[in-house]
Amino acid sequence: MNPETIARLLIRCDDKPGIVAAATTFLYHHGANITELDQHSTSPSDGQLFMRLEFQTPAIDLPRAALERAFADTVAAQYQMNWRMSYAADKPRLAILVSAHDHAAMELLWRWQRGELRVDIPCVISNHEALRKAVEGFGVPFHHVPFETATRAESEAAMQKLLVEAKADFIVLARYMRILSGDFAAAWPSKIINIHHSFLPAFVGADPYRQAYERGVKIIGATAHYVTADLDQGPIIEQDVARVSHSEGIDELRRLGRDLERQVLARAVRWHVEDRIIVDGNKTVVFN
């Protein structure tokens, strides 16, 4: 399928009979060819319905705005839906925040360069200069914004200015090792994705893999989540783990952890870009 002709409809509403039929019938009558349909209900009788439809647009009989107005006035109004349509042809603009660890950021840049991640990357912002050459090698602008706790407000204001100038749609913290304020997070609701090791809250602070090694853990992992004002408490998008044993040293744990972080973050970003995630309070429904 040509990705330029893909559109998506995400729906959340009280679960009632007829919703799936109403949505699919509407699209059918306007010339859409539905290629994916996923749904989840929290209760068969009085719960919430979450639904994602992906459809092809070449035969649609209305322009985008008119199609959306027609859906809003008929199906959405009838079932009091929280809904949105998006179009794969409109590549979201992803801004990356990173510190000195390069593995997560390089994974995203590499997938973007190969065309596997359908985004535009207008900038990378870092509190270190270490990755400038690597980032600029991809043809992406690199901005160094020093970030210290005492000057956090000034640093965040500088980053917000760069993000606005770059017309960023969402942000990925690709091992950005500074704590952002609640105000910064609130300005980007469900639009900041973070990646970290899955040891939290067991091994907080510096060098979690050394702490894990010293405790003799048998599983390590990684977690991608949306950032909220509560540190590392936002809705989880994706997780993965790997089994380890006494034979792995600290360096091997770190290597395995970096591999998991790259993979988990790449999946979370792709699902965000493809509108496969619906946030439900502090949880997510992910149609992957």
Task: Work out the percent of the chain whose per-residue pLDDT is above 90.
Answer: 86
Q: How many domains does the chain have?
A: 2
- Position with higher pLDDT, 157 vs 230: 157
- Same domain for 134 and 14, yes or no, is no
Confidence of residue 77 (pLDDT cuts 50, 70, 90): very high
Q: Quick one: pLDDT at residue 143?
A: 98
- Position with higher pLDDT, 38 vs 199: 38
Mean pLDDT of 61-84: 98
- Same domain for 82 and 100, yes or no, is no
Q: Quick one: pLDDT at residue 201?
A: 64
* CA atoms of 25 and 75, how far apart (whole Å): 10
Instruction: Kindly report the average pLDDT of the chain as a whole number.
Output: 94
- Same domain for 28 and 98, yes or no, is no
Residue 94 Cα to chain centre, angstroms: 10
Q: Which of 27, 53, 87 is where one domain is finished?
A: 87
pLDDT tens-digit series, residues 6-19: 999 999 999 999 99
- Same domain for 165 and 29, yes or no, is no
Q: Which of 63, 87, 111 is where one domain is finished?
A: 87
Q: Which of 87, 107, 129 is where one domain is finished?
A: 87
pLDDT tens-digit series, residues 175-194: 999 999 999 999 999 999 99
- Same domain for 233 and 192, yes or no, is yes
Task: Name the residue range of residue 107's domain.
Answer: 93-286
pLDDT tens-digit series, residues 229-241: 887 789 999 999 9
Q: Quick one: pLDDT at residue 164?
A: 98
CATH code, domain carrying 198: 3.40.50.170
DSSP states along the chain? --GGGEEEEEEEEE--TTHHHHHHHHHHHTT-EEEEEEEEES-TTTSEEEEEEEEE-TT-SS-HHHHHHHHIIIIIHHHT-EEEEEETTS--EEEEEE-S--HHHHHHHHHHHTTSS--EEEEEEESSSTTHHHHHTTT--EEE----GGGHHHHHHHHHHHHHHTT-SEEEESS--SPPPHHHHHTSTT-EEEEEETTTTTT-SS-HHHHHHHHT-SEEEEEEEE--SSTT-SPEEEEEEEE--TT--HHHHHHHHHHHHHHHHHHHHHHHHTT-EEEETTEEEE--
pTM above 0.85, yes or no: yes
Q: Token pair for residue 253?
A: 């744990």
Confidence of residue 200 (pLDDT cuts 50, 70, 90): low
Q: Which residues are part of the catalytic machinery? A: 232
- Judge whether residue 204 has pLDDT over 80: no
